[in-house]
Structure 1
Amino acid sequence: MAVAKKVMHVTMRWGHGVGGVKRFIHNAVEALPEDEYRQVVASLGPVTGEDQGLTVLGPVVQDGRLAGKRSMLDMMRFFETESPDVVHIHCNNGVGLLCAEAARRAGRVVRVVHSHNSSLGSGELWKRAGDAALKLMYSASPTARVACSKVAGDWLFGSRPYTVIRNGIDLERFAFSPEQRTAVREALGVPEGASLIGLVGAGIPVKNTSFAIELLARLREAGRDAYLVLLGEGEESEMLVARAAELGVASWTHFTGTVSDAWRYYSAMDCLIMPSFYEGLPITLIEAQANGLPCAVSDTVSREVDVAGIVSFLPLDDCTSWLDGTDRAVSKGCLRCIGDSRLTVSQIKKAGYSIEDLGSQLRTLYAGESQVRNNQDSDSDSDIRGLLCF
């Protein structure tokens, strides 16, 4: 029997909650057979969250500074010790390219850098300068460059070639279920006839969850019988609980924490909102569309995500447009049925977002069949000494 190929998914950190990168990794594990692919996770930075049934290693970088003077040496030693056949690096900045260079120097043949977002997430000049330097120095280090969307690919790779890889999901699992809708709404105490608005990734700063709580307050002031369910947890979670109480909407706001059955909550919702400051191509929106659930999202989200034609893009600086847009979405979402979900599932599958499509893409990627080839031959350590620490 052939030995299973060892695939190492590298993340910048492994914190609480289930963000887009973690969901992609879970889907990758599901998409590929265990007897052919042994998939593990390595966190460059601190491991503070639960392993969620995965093998999670780390921290790889001992001093916590992912682009510090010793970070590449720590990464090289780690890859030499663990000897993965494939290094799949999930990132949104130049540290991912630095990591690919460390994997190259450690003799790893297949090095995939995967861009998941469209912004560095910081306006600090020194961080932007450091990121630009890493992109310049190590742009040729991956054997494959992939991105969740065109905007994410352009952000990290610039003019370098890359491939968009679809965040495929189990479409049937996310299909609308009247039974799950009734069960979840009863468990949350949402009355019949009331609207339930949802957000996934609550507590993660980029998700702008406080905006959702403020929107709920405005909807209730306008006489809407609206409730809000917030899935996930993050560094802002405690602040958000206090904010809901401050605005007087704590009784209508439900904090679920991290859940492993988000599809049940999609069926219960009438509208999904995503007022994020920036995104790549959120897998959450693919899941919600498979459910037939209308979505109201900020206009910073890539238009590529509107696969089924049920996503509205709204400006964050116009509260009226959010009130109106949420009302429109709720009016459609509360009437959706199994047939609506079947239609959207068909559209999403046609666009290449099924778990089967993901498995096919990953097999090709992990076989090293890529248009990107490394042309860096220098192993000089001069660039390590010159790294900016951020």
Structure 2
Amino acid sequence: MIRILQCVNDMHRAGLETMLMNYYRHIDRTKIQFDFLTHRPYRSDYDDEIEALGGKIYYAPRLYPQNYPKYFKWMKQFFKEHPEYKIVHSHIDAMSYLPLKAAKMAGVPIRIAHSHSTSIDKDFKYLLKQIYRYKLNSVTTNEFSCGELAGDFLFRNKEYTIIPNAVEAKKFYFDKNVRNKIRDDMAISLNTLVLGHVGRISYPKNHKFLIDIFKEVYSMKPNSKLLIVGSGEMEKEIKSYAQESGINEQIVFLGNRSDTNLLYQAFDIFMLPSLFEGVPLVGVEAQFSDLPCFFSDKVPTEVSFGSKNHFISLQKTPKEWAQEIVNTNILPRNSYKESLINSNFDIEVAHKFLEKKYNDLFFENIGGEYEN
């Protein structure tokens, strides 16, 4: 069995984490097993399922600059105690430099950095991240990306392999009966225009602009609601902003949910006015639900495979966004079951590609492979 160490911040329910779980659930775990190295001192949403699927979870020190000596000491001991890891696959963008450097120092032969975004958060580690972004190639043996723009940004070359942000497509196919039940459960009438957003409540997702857009939509169509699914570091600030908007009663914060596939059925419009993205998993999910999707022009068009997608400039006003939204024909919605067979965004297809990639890397570098 090939054991692969997946390096993440944590395994809470968010985009790249959900993508990883989609692959993990579908790979042949008798031949390839995922284990997880996290950088948070707590258990996360997916930890119980990871362990149920046979995975191990390790908790490394936080990646604060003052922790770096402690971190590398911990990682040195970790790899000494775990020589079974021949493949380390890191998903923390520019910060992947640190675990992959530790893996290189420990002699791990296959070290993969995976790009999930087209920019860097401007937090207190911003300058360090820029430095690590330029040094990342010195510690990788292979580079993966969710899309071309994300790969070009992080790696500044064309040598990366694209791994689609794939989902369990059939879970998201539109079902009118599910739509009616979810709306009934939430006391939302069938003729209410529902805008939906799924994503971490954080800077890149641009929630204030989302609320500004909805405020304009509401002024044009008073029978409308905004459902926001997710949580995050800006949650308190965004909830306060919603409270100040004057239409707070029409904005529903649903928190982290494990049933987003059902919630998509209740939406009429999917909104993602992000400041930057890789290839957003939620955009893929929304399209499998046959929703009209309104993306900002900072979302790579690589995400688009449906026929109802709109990419709108962030230079346009909330009122201009709202006008396009209310003029959109939201019906009919179909299941797309026929047209999406064998889509690269369907995990039933995509997991086979990743399995083969891992196996080929192992065979080329270690000299063995699992049997098909």
Normalised to the residue count of structure 1, the TM-score between the two structures is 0.83
Q: What is the alpha-carbon distance in structure 2 between the residues aligned to residue 201 and residue 357 of structure 1? A: 25
Q: What number of residue pairs does the alignment pair up?
A: 357
Q: Which shows bigger deviation, 278-287 or 104-113? A: 104-113
Q: Which residue of 2 aligns with 1:385?
A: none
SS of 1:244's equivalent in the other structure is: helix
Q: Which residue of 2 aligns with 1:367?
A: 359
Q: What is the alpha-carbon distance in structure 1 between the residues aligned to residue 148 and residue 294 of structure 2? A: 21
Q: Which residue of 1 aligns with 2:39?
A: 44
Q: Which residue of 2 aligns with 1:54?
A: 50
Q: What is the alpha-carbon distance in structure 2 between the residues aligned to residue 353 and residue 346 of structure 1? A: 14
Within-5 A mapping of 1:69-108:
69-82=69-82, 83-93=84-94, 95-108=95-108
Q: Which residue of 2 aligns with 1:353?
A: 345
Structure 1 residue ranges without an equivalent (≥5): 374-390
1:269 has 2:267 as partner: yes
Residues 125-167 of structure 1, C-alpha deviations (whole Å, 9 max, x = no match): x733x33432443404222211001010001100251011111
Q: Which residue of 2 aligns with 1:193?
A: 191
Report percent identity of matched pairs.
23
Q: Which shows bigger deviation, 357-366 or 39-48? A: 39-48
C-alpha change, 1:163 and 1:323, in structure 2 (3 Å) is: same
Letter aligned with residue 6 of structure 1: R
Q: What is the alpha-carbon distance in structure 2 between the residues aligned to residue 308 and residue 224 of structure 1? A: 29
1:5 has 2:2 as partner: yes
User: 1:87 offset after TM fit, Å?
Assistant: 1.5
User: 1:48 offset after TM fit, Å?
Assistant: 6.1
Letter aligned with residue 353 of structure 1: F
User: 1:66 offset after TM fit, Å?
Assistant: 8.7
Letter aligned with residue 256 of structure 2: T
Q: What is the alpha-carbon distance in structure 2 between the residues aligned to residue 281 and residue 141 of structure 1? A: 25
Letter aligned with residue 295 of structure 1: C
C-alpha change, 1:153 and 1:62, in structure 2 (3 Å) is: closer
SS of 1:54's equivalent in the other structure is: helix
C-alpha change, 1:202 and 1:248, in structure 2 (3 Å) is: farther
C-alpha change, 1:66 and 1:336, in structure 2 (3 Å) is: farther
User: 1:107 offset after TM fit, Å?
Assistant: 2.7
Does the 8 A contact of 2:231 with 2:255 survive in 1? Answer: yes
Q: Which residue of 1 aligns with 2:14?
A: 19
Does the 8 A contact of 2:214 with 2:322 survive in 1? Answer: no
C-alpha change, 1:284 and 1:348, in structure 2 (3 Å) is: farther
Does the 8 A contact of 2:217 with 2:325 survive in 1? Answer: no
User: 1:240 offset after TM fit, Å?
Assistant: 2.5
Q: Say which of 18, 24, 33 aligns to 1:29.
A: 24
C-alpha change, 1:81 and 1:38, in structure 2 (3 Å) is: same
Q: What is the alpha-carbon distance in structure 2 between the residues aligned to residue 177 and residue 65 of structure 1? A: 49
User: 1:202 offset after TM fit, Å?
Assistant: 4.5
Alpha-carbon RMSD across the aligned residues, in angstroms, is 2.5
Q: What is the alpha-carbon distance in structure 1 between the residues aligned to residue 111 and residue 199 of structure 2? A: 29
Does the 8 A contact of 1:7 with 1:88 survive in 2? Answer: yes
SS of 1:300's equivalent in the other structure is: coil
Q: What is the alpha-carbon distance in structure 2 between the residues aligned to residue 254 and residue 323 of structure 1? A: 18
Letter aligned with residue 121 of structure 2: G
C-alpha change, 1:348 and 1:10, in structure 2 (3 Å) is: farther
C-alpha change, 1:173 and 1:15, in structure 2 (3 Å) is: closer
C-alpha change, 1:356 and 1:133, in structure 2 (3 Å) is: same
Normalised to the residue count of structure 2, the TM-score between the two structures is 0.87
Residues 342-381 of structure 1, C-alpha deviations (whole Å, 9 max, x = no match): 2xx55544441111222112212222439x99xxxxxxxx
Q: Which residue of 1 aligns with 2:319?
A: 320
Q: Which residue of 1 aligns with 2:236?
A: 238
SS of 2:361's equivalent in the other structure is: coil
Letter aligned with residue 268 of structure 1: A
Q: What is the alpha-carbon distance in structure 2 between the residues aligned to residue 341 and residue 238 of structure 1? A: 36
SS of 1:6's equivalent in the other structure is: strand
Does the 8 A contact of 2:61 with 2:67 survive in 1? Answer: no
C-alpha change, 1:92 and 1:349, in structure 2 (3 Å) is: farther
Letter aligned with residue 90 of structure 1: H
Does the 8 A contact of 1:15 with 1:47 survive in 2? Answer: no
Does the 8 A contact of 1:272 with 1:293 survive in 2? Answer: yes
Q: What is the alpha-carbon distance in structure 2 between the residues aligned to residue 366 and residue 269 of structure 1? A: 37
Q: Which residue of 1 aligns with 2:215?
A: 217
C-alpha change, 1:269 and 1:52, in structure 2 (3 Å) is: farther
Q: What is the alpha-carbon distance in structure 2 between the residues aligned to residue 312 and residue 63 of structure 1? A: 38
Does the 8 A contact of 1:7 with 1:87 survive in 2? Answer: yes
1:179 has 2:177 as partner: yes
C-alpha change, 1:264 and 1:141, in structure 2 (3 Å) is: same
Residues 265-316 of structure 1, C-alpha deviations (whole Å, 9 max, x = no match): 1111101000111100001111111111110011100011111132211122
